[in-house]
Amino acid sequence: MTPRTAAALSGLLRGKNAVNLAPEQVPKLLATRASPARVEDGVCLRDPPGARYPLDEIPRRDAAVGANRVLFDYARRGMVLEVLDQFSVARRGGVLVDSATLSCVLKACRSVPDRVLGEQLHCLCVKCGHDRGEVSAGTSLVDMYMKCGSVCEGIEVFEGMPKKNVVTWTSLLTGCAHAQMHSEVMALFFRMRAEGIWPNPFTFASVLSAVASQGALDLGQRVHAQSVKFGCRSSVFVCNSLMNMYARCGLVEDAKSVFNWMETRDMVSWNTLMAGLQLNECELEALQLFHESRATMGKMTQSTYATVIKLCANLKQLALARQLHSCVLKHGFHLTGNVMTALADAYSKCGELADALNIFSMTTGSRNVVSWTAIISGCIQNGDIPLAVVLFSRMREDRVMPNEFTYSAMLKASLSILPPQIHAQVIKTNYQHIPFVGTALLASYSKFGSTEDALSIFKMIEQKDVVAWSAMLSCHAQAGDCEGATYLFNKMAIQGIKPNEFTISSVIDACACPSAGVDQGRQFHAISIKYRYHDAICVSSALVSMYSRKGNIDSAQIVFERQTDRDLVSWNSMISGYAQHGYSMKAIETFRQMEASGIQMDGVTFLAVIMGCTHNGLVVEGQQYFDSMVRDHKINPTMEHYACMVDLYSRAGKLDETMSLIRDMPFPAGAMVWRTLLGACRVHKNVELGKFSADKLLSLEPHDSSTYVLLSNIYAAAGKWKERDEVRKLMDYRKVKKEAGCSWIQIKNKVHSFIAFDKSHPMSDQIYKKLKVIITRLKQDGYSPNTSFVLHDIAEDQKEAMLVAHSERLALAFGLIATPPGTPLQIVKNLRVCGDCHMVMKMVSMIEDREIIMRDCSRFHHFNGGACSCGDEQTHEKAPPEAQLHCTSQIQVVVLIPVEFLRWVIIILLGGASSWVISLNLKECTEGADMMVLIASAAVLQFAVALFIKVFFFA
């Protein structure tokens, strides 16, 4: 409709004398806008001049019948602008307006849509009294307002109508459904039924659409029953709506049942079922349905192509996507925006980013926010983040406004400069309140450790769904904030949000942090069983990792063995757990099982198995796994791998091989490598190499206190007190503070922390009294303090006093006091346990008959029955041979000597009996021999028999 025509029509609606249309303009206007029509003779209405001529010959131009017939004919043909032009001419000619005419024009107005023109027509309806007369005019008004997005006005017109029919109700329900007012749709539907209005198939289609958007299965089943009751279940589009509802509620089998029951199917039916299968991750079944139904479906529509190409994208079926691309070109859909966007997405997901970009470049005329978002997401998925940033900028230059999906895709890019910039754009366009945009924002900030920023974004999300809660819990887990994760989970439960498997796995990951209580992970394990998520692979993998990191390797093994399906995380968690707990052979065995299962290994897998070899001194095996990683699996070693190999060589005392490995690294050695070598130099008392490593480490991290401490300890162990004092002075000059040793133990859901010489605990007197009793008992059993671990130039009695007050011993004494006999104790220390404390832990585990699990900064130590799971490896310095003899002599006297005594008694008795029998036979054979010779022979024989029994039966 031209601007002049619109102005004329607007004037006519306001009043007769508002605008004067020149008489000479009327024929010209009608000649350009009329469509073929024949009024009186019923001729074919395909020639515009032929349509105008009979109307011009009508004697009375105010004849409503003739004008309405032309008007209705335009409307049937979908010629919206012609309807409005014809109404303008008829109104100018003084034709009376009835409710049918207004209904026809209002339908045309809703198709434009033009709310201003619709309001003017509403005024005309009120002026002519048709708004409260015929139902058709009021229904058209409701429909017009709903189509124009004026939901409140549509509801107001609806409530003011004295009479309503099923079409009126359906127009209102459809408009509310399009406006995402799903709860209002259901309320209106039940009100309609209460007022005795029988729904029709269109009513059920609108209501089912609202139910599908809500995912309200109970309501959907009730509406399904109503459709059967009113005989609408045979309607094709009702069945299509039912399939969509069941598929979006996750009931694929019910959707398939509706499809199989249908007697007549259209293209929408096939497309709906395929889309539902795709939505529920049944892509293979959807693709099979497509292949089986090619003959039945006939010619495919653009919706069919778009759906099937999406299946190819999800399944990464590049060959089929290319075939469909050929069909798209053949049938002329290459100009269809959604089809070409689906093709570009399929190519990018299959790794063919160049082909995706070619398709995108050819769709210059049909680019919209969906196609831009698809190509940007494809660049991010293929790792070309700079190109994604460029395309995002070009998109905004082309004045295409990003939507929530665009922002969500851009936030997945792992560039530290992007989150604040994208965040600013999100705030500017007011998308920060949308749940999944806010979720993407907080996930992006959490990647960079910005927990406070993520929490502030989380608070701004208005309607938090379970995904947003899970993302925030994952952020707390990455930050090691178990307390914050637990509080958030409880708050989520109070608000009635049901957790899913990802929610529970995130909070279990948070319970694996060192500051978390021992029993918190078990509680969330119970919650996972309550919600029946304990068998989900992400939950069970998190449980394996949590139990192994909290010292309960047996529970981790039980969860691991119960897994029916294992992914890479499960295998890596179990291998790493065995390695950290000192069970190297189990780690290697699990690695071989993983290799046999065909799981593709990664760098974390080999890092875990090499770590297991390191803790048990398996140098040859560790080197073999390192070579296999590079040679067979084509995995490039990282700094962590080289640091682990340096640890492997240096623990075994192969410092020359260690330096050769460092020199051959493809990149400069980092702080982790030099720190590992420095620790080995302390163990092996290599002062020169230690000084060299410390210099390298201080050039990289000049403010790391551990470097100064290790170097000063090396000098102190070598008796170079002057050099040791110089290192300490350098620390003071650079204002570097040493990290204080601290130990934690949890008793009855409360964590108690201790530092050396700590007397702040309420039970300090009992703790030190218990320590005194323990040391006295240990000395009676042969313990002698190894004061070489006190690296201070002080008297021996002062060194011994310093050893007694170590933080791990205070935690041990408190645990022995605060728990019943036989209760296992679990202690965590932020530094490495010293060798003397390690020896004390071993002896206490035997005399107290306790299992003591200790986690230091390097690994776990399981003390049980006087032994440690680490096998006394050199994570700490071993005590001198004298100290080892002192601490083990009593154990041998109590355990080994009685067993050896009984063994020799058995040997002598058996040997004596055997030799006595043999001597009797010799006596019978040598009656004339000398008795002394016989006795001597019997003694020699007895010793020989005893020695034989000892060697072959008691070796």
HEC sequence for 855-914: ECCCCEEEEECCEECCCCCCCCCCCCHHHHHHHHHHHHHHHHHHHHHHHHHHHHHHHHHH
Which amino acid is residue 95, in one-letter code? V
> In degrees rounded to 5, what are phi and psi of residue 423?
-60, -40
C-alpha–C-alpha distance, residues 105 and 68, integer Å: 10
C-alpha–C-alpha distance, residues 360 and 380, integer Å: 15
For the chain, the straight-line distance linking the first and the last C-alpha, in angstroms and rounded, comes to 108
Please return the burial class of 523, using the count of CB atoms within 10 Å of its CB with bins 0-12, 13-18 and 19+: middle
Which pLDDT does position 627 carry in this prediction? 92
Which of 816, 690, 847 is closest to 747 using CA atoms?
816
Other Cβ atoms less than 10 A from the Cβ of 103: the count is 23
Q: What is the DSSP string of 739-799?
A: PPPEEEEEETTEEEEEETT---STTHHHHHHHHHHHHHHHHHTT----GGG--SSS-HHHH
Which of 628, 580, 582 is closest to 601 using CA atoms?
628
Which pLDDT does position 749 carry in this prediction? 74
The per-residue pLDDT for range 905-929, each reduced to its tens digit, is 454 555 555 444 444 444 444 444 4
- For residue 627, what are the CA distances in angstroms to 599, 612, 630? 19, 16, 5
Q: Any idea what DSSP says for residue 79?
A: -
- For residue 953, what are the CA distances in angstroms to 130, 428, 906, 945? 114, 86, 11, 12
What torsion, rounded to 10 degrees, do the Cα atoms 806, 808, 811, 817 define?
Answer: -90
The helices-and-strands tally (H runs, E runs) of the chain is 51, 6
Q: Give Cβ neighbours of residue 144 (< 8 Å, ≥ 6 apart).
A: 106, 107, 109, 110, 113, 118, 121, 154
Which pLDDT does position 66 carry in this prediction? 53
Label residues 161-200 b or e (16+ Cβ within 10 Å = b): beebeebbbbbbbbbbbbbebbebbbebbeebeeeebebb
Which amino acid is residue 170, in one-letter code? T
Show the tokens assigned to 907: 């040997």
C-alpha–C-alpha distance, residues 463 and 437, integer Å: 12
C-alpha–C-alpha distance, residues 672 and 639, integer Å: 8
C-alpha–C-alpha distance, residues 443 and 410, integer Å: 12
Put the strands of the sheet holding 825-829 in their side by side order. 750-755, 742-747, 825-829, 852-855, 860-864, 867-868
C-alpha–C-alpha distance, residues 371 and 406, integer Å: 10
Q: Across the 955 residues of the chain, what is the mean pLDDT of every consecutive 10-residue run?
A: 42 38 35 36 44 47 53 60 64 61 66 66 68 69 74 78 81 79 80 83 84 81 85 82 88 88 83 86 83 71 83 86 86 78 89 89 81 89 86 87 86 72 82 79 80 84 84 87 89 90 91 79 91 90 90 90 88 91 89 90 92 86 92 91 91 87 90 88 84 88 84 82 85 80 83 86 90 88 76 65 82 90 87 84 89 84 84 46 32 37 50 47 43 46 52 44
The set of long-range contacts for 856-860, using a CB threshold of 8 Å and a minimum separation of 24, is 856/829, 856/831, 856/832, 857/829, 857/830, 857/831, 857/832, 858/832, 859/580, 859/581, 859/582, 859/615, 860/551, 860/553, 860/580, 860/581, 860/582
Q: What is the residue-averaged pLDDT of the chain?
A: 77
Q: Give Cβ neighbours of residue 918 (< 8 Å, ≥ 6 apart).
A: 938, 941, 945
Which of 88, 69, 82, 153 is closest to 111 using CA atoms?
82
> In degrees rounded to 5, what are phi and psi of residue 572?
-65, -40
Q: Which helix (H) or strand (E) holds 178?
A: helix 166-178
* CB 650 within 8 Å of CB 677: yes
Which of 715, 740, 718, 717 is closest to 728 using CA atoms?
715
Alpha carbons within 13 angstroms on the beta-carbon side of residue 248 total 19
For strand 860-864 and strand 852-855, is the pairing parallel, antiparallel, or unpaired? antiparallel
Q: Give Cβ neighbours of residue 341 (< 8 Å, ≥ 6 apart).
A: 363, 370, 371, 374
For the chain, what is the largest distance between any 2 Cα atoms, rounded to a whole number of angstroms? 167
For tokens 């799981």, what's the residue?
Answer: 599
- For residue 421, what are the CA distances in angstroms to 411, 688, 733? 10, 50, 41
For strand 750-755 and strand 860-864, is the pairing parallel, antiparallel, or unpaired? unpaired
Which pLDDT does position 76 carry in this prediction? 59
Please return the burial class of 623, using the count of CB atoms within 10 Å of its CB with bins 0-12, 13-18 and 19+: middle
> In degrees rounded to 5, what are phi and psi of residue 743?
-130, 145
Which pLDDT does position 928 carry in this prediction? 41
Which pLDDT does position 99 carry in this prediction? 65
Which pLDDT does position 262 carry in this prediction? 85
